[in-house]
């Protein structure tokens, strides 16, 4: 009986030491592989208002993802995520139709991000923006 107890105790010790060693080796490897913090890019971006004509769109990187700024024909400025809500492709601006089209599965979005057709389940996410002294601040 005493031997059984010792054997169990040693077993628990060995298992514990092995688990500790696995964590000690696994944690650095996990941290090494994990995406690094602070790599998402600027959370705020300033674009000169003069860069964009009415009816045009400007694609840019924002907070580690793709985004688009459009100036509608009525002069309204809208910033949206350019990532299609269906399967994550980047939507394209169709200037003639003044709408977005996803090249992957034909999803269509209006200038305010609303789904006009195709498989996307949700509208494009809106990004807040402010206009001051001729500069558009996104985010």
Partner 1 sequence: MLKRLYRWLDLRIGVGEIVEKELTGYLLPRNINEWYSLGSVLLIIFALQVVTGMLLMIYYVPDADKAFKSVTFIMNEVPFGWLIRLCHAVGSNMMVAVLILHMLSTLLMGSYKAPRELNWVTGFTLLALVQGVSLTGYLAPWSQLSFWATTVATNSASAVPVVGPYLVEFLRGGKLVGPPTLGRFFALHAAVLPVVIAAFIGAHLFLLKRTGISAPPFGREGTANPFEAQQYHYQGHPGGIPFFPNYVLQDLTSISIYFAVFLAVVFFWPGMPFTPDAFVPADPFKTPAHIKPEWYFLANYQTLKIFPSELLGLSVQAAAMTFLALLPFIDRSPERHPLKRPIFLTLVIAGILLWIALSVWGHLS
Shortest Cβ 29–partner 1 spacing (Å):
7
Shortest Cβ 28–partner 1 spacing (Å):
4
Of 17 and 43, nearer to partner 1 (C-beta) is 17
Shortest Cβ 9–partner 1 spacing (Å):
17
- Backbone angle region of 131, left / alpha / beta, with phi > 0 → left and psi within -120 to 50 → alpha: beta
Distance between CA atoms of residues 112 and 107, nearest Å: 14
Shortest Cβ 41–partner 1 spacing (Å):
16
Residues 7-46, one symbol each (x = binds partner 1 by CB under 8 A, - = not), give ---------------------xx-xxxx-x----------
Of 21 and 131, nearer to partner 1 (C-beta) is 21
Of 15 and 46, nearer to partner 1 (C-beta) is 15
Interface residue list for partner 1 (CB under 8 A): 28-29, 31-34, 36
């Amino acid at each position: 009986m005493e031997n059984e107890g010792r054997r169990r105790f040693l077993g628990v010790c060995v298992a514990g030491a092995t688990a500790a060693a696995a964590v000690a080796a696994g944690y650095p490897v996990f941290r090494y592989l994990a995406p690094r913090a602070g790599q998402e890019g600027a959370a705020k971006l300033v674009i000169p208002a003069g860069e964009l004509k009415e009816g045009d769109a400007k694609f840019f990187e924002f907070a580690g993802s793709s985004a688009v700024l459009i100036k509608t024909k009525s002069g309204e400025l809208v910033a949206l995520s350019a990532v299609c809500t269906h399967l994550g492709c980047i939507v394209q601006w169709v200037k003639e139709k003044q709408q977005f089209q996803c090249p992957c599965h034909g999803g269509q979005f209006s200038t305010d991000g609303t789904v006009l057709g195709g498989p996307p389940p949700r509208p494009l996410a809106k990004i807040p923006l402010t206009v001051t002294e001729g500069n558009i601040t996104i985010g």
